[in-house]
Structure 1
């Protein structure tokens, strides 16, 4: 019996756990999946939760039912990679032979005041608190910090759901800067239509209880500040002695094994996965393929085979702009924009198709199948 521990049950962790259970069933794999919450969080849709929309509830026990996976509810407090143990906050210690680290990332709160005064998307409960706070405001200003895709989606969603509130998007660069010119033009027009005030060149130096301070001393009033400017790996990785990069992500080899501790595999936002065009940035688009590949690499190692090298290419940059609009920028494998894009209703339908309920994907994995989109993104999995 090989004890396989999967830490984290987001999109990537659940995909890795199910794929591992299927691929190691005949070689005596025992898979345990650890997560702080008993609920599967649709992280791709947290901006909808923030705007007050109720999403479907997926208990993790139901998500992994029929796979033989043992679900363990508990928050990871630390790792001992020499003893091969994970310690939970309640004192329980879980041993393992192989570990898949899928704890994801948390908001980079290095700017003063973020931890104390800003709302973040680190978990479902925190997002619900933001939704409740916004619902309680009769009027006022909401500051969304960060002009990446998460910031843009959040600003649009909140502005559409709460037209009485003034939404200000503060960003150093242009919103959607990674997109092509025509897709960016549609994005800009949508934000203007929704009444979102976009301020570029904004360098936030401090978050205050009732606003944010910019470089130069200007104060921007805010009745709620949402921080979406960047993420970093959780402390257990660096504190354990695993090799991590400057953002606290576990550095992995081509099989997605830790370069310092090969019994540990890292996936999703928690991993620094190098490709010829750079290190993968955290998205579900790249995350689930890493989870599937780590499972295959682990299964190959248990059979005494050499794991295949991970391959991945980006396909698109999907951005919702409220419930009635969206824009999809299609990309080259290195994530640079192609000429093609979708907008409006067609983009809404596309976005809902690629970021809808994960249960069909998990259902395919339970049957030992890999979704077609995973083949497209990775060029084929071993």
Structure 2
């Protein structure tokens, strides 16, 4: 059973590391980088140059999975072919598509051209270099930062940047950089309840971050963004650096006449995470439109991607042994938001669908614990 696993993000790597040498199962993991990136910690790399990658090869020891560094150009599930950017074409018996997402700029004029993303290590490096450069004595130009999107990524990024700016300002005797968090919706962090959100918002304001909710970015230029307020007023915010974290969409890389796609271009899957009408193709992570027990889309988070990957690895071994597949039953263990340093807010799941709200240092420990669990699961 020749199996291709495309992508070594949370979902793809969880699939590969779950596998064990199994008679009849031949697996190849393909990724454009020789390392796995902890995307949920890219904000730390952007502000503090924190190491957030792991080499892939050591993680595959004992799995029987081979690795090849290559970029996927497109996938044709009707022809059962994967075309690589170097021109090679690979075929498969079973396919796991875990190629993640790309930034959704929502066709806002100038945004894709002038905004930095936070999707990979090079983006974090670019932001880190900027925040250090503006604190050099010979820097000329606007020093302020505008971050669009006040979800998890945007909030975690602005708090880390504010903390870094505070340190640099103190060390180098320069005034602090102004940081603007711009959100089109009525509130930041919609995944949290009101009490936790209020604590997060207070922390941001204590850092001096300008929170602009109900402000929709309508265009971007090299040195500014234009926003529209809820009452229709336009405002121009000058900026030396624009960062967009306001949305994602599935990679438009898989073609098939009978593929079904949903919101954000995500590919509809069955209860075993196989693309509908294509039982030999598993689609997991950000690209798959998996549904929970209430029939609602599963969030595109690292914890759910990891769950899907581990199940898919298990099901690939079951297929090789001729055993029935296990259905996907998602569970959300909790959600934590880092707010810089040892501060975080969030909640963890308790029995009988209860939630325990946690703030401060303990929440920071719980967030780190979830990352340690992930690390342990791929070793």
TM-score, normalized by length of structure 2? 0.88
In structure 2, relative to structure 1, the CA distance for the partners of 1:115 and 1:244 (3 Å cut) is same
Q: 1:244 to 1:352 in 2, by over 3 A?
A: same
Q: Does 1:80 align with 2:79?
A: no
Query: Residue in 2 aligned with 1:245?
Result: 262
The answer for the alignment partner of 1:232 in structure 2 is 249
In structure 2, runs of 5+ residues without a counterpart are: 136-141, 167-175
CA distance in 2, matches of 1:17, 1:32: 9
Please name the residue that 1:295 is paired with.
Answer: 313
Q: Does 1:156 align with 2:159?
A: yes
Matched with 1:127 is 124
Aligned residues: 357
Asked if 1 retains the 8 angstrom alpha-carbon contact of 2:77 and 2:254, the reply is no
1:48 and 1:255 map into 2 onto residues whose CA distance is 35
* Equivalent residues in 2 for 1:1-382, closer than 5 Å: 2-19=1-18, 21-22=19-20, 25-55=21-51, 57-110=53-106, 111-138=108-135, 140-163=143-166, 164-171=176-183, 172-215=185-228, 216-238=233-255, 242-275=259-292, 276=294, 278-330=296-348, 340-356=356-372, 358-363=374-379
Residue 318 of structure 1, CA deviation: 0.4
User: Could you say which residue in structure 2 is the equivalent of 1:376?
Assistant: none
Distance 1:278 1:309, change over 3 A: same
Contact 1:266 1:294 in 2 (8 A): no
Structure-2 change in CA distance of 1:331 and 1:195 (3 Å): farther
Structure 1 range deviating more: 30-39 or 325-334 = 325-334
- Give the match for residue 374 of structure 1: none
Aligned-pair distance for 1:357?
A: 7.8
**Residue-by-residue CA offset, 1:48-73 (whole Å, 9 max, x unaligned):** 11113221542111221232211110
Tell me, yes or no, if the aligned pair for 1:36 and 1:74 is still in contact at 8 Å.
Answer: yes
1:297 is paired with a residue whose SS is helix
Hey, what's the Cα distance between the residues in 2 that align with 1:238 and 1:132? 38
Shift of 1:143: 0.8
Residues 316 and 359 of structure 1: CA distance in aligned 2, closer, same or farther (over 3 Å): closer
Cα shift readout 1:86-130 (whole Å, capped 9, x = no counterpart): 111111222211000011111102222222111112221122112
Greater CA drift, 47-56 or 310-319 = 47-56
8 A contact 2:192–2:346 mirrored in 1: no
Instruction: Call closer, same or farther: CA 1:114–1:63 in 2, change over 3 Å.
Output: farther
* Distance across 1 between alignment mates of 2:34 and 2:325: 32
Q: Residues of 2 paired with 1:176 and 1:247: CA distance?
A: 20
Asked if the contact 1:147/1:173 (under 8 Å) is kept, the reply is no
1:80–1:240 contact (8 Å) kept in structure 2: no
Give the superposition deviation at 1:268. 0.9
The 3-state SS of whatever aligns with 2:144 is strand
Moved over 4 A (4+): 238-241, 331-334
SS of structure 2 residue aligned to 1:207: strand
Post-superposition CA distance 1:316-369 (Å, at most 9, x none): 1100000121112235899x9x56211111111111111248432212xxxxxx
Structure 2: distance between partners of 1:59 and 1:87: 24
* Alpha-carbon offset, residue 273 of structure 1: 0.5
1:220-241 Cα deviation digits (max 9, x unpaired): 1111111111100112125786
Q: CA deviation at 1:204?
A: 1.0
State the match for 2:172 in structure 1.
none
Work out the CA distance in 2 between the residues paired with 1:70 and 1:26.
13
- Could you say if the C-alpha distance between residues 178 and 57 of structure 1 is closer, same or farther in structure 2, counting changes exceeding 3 Å? closer
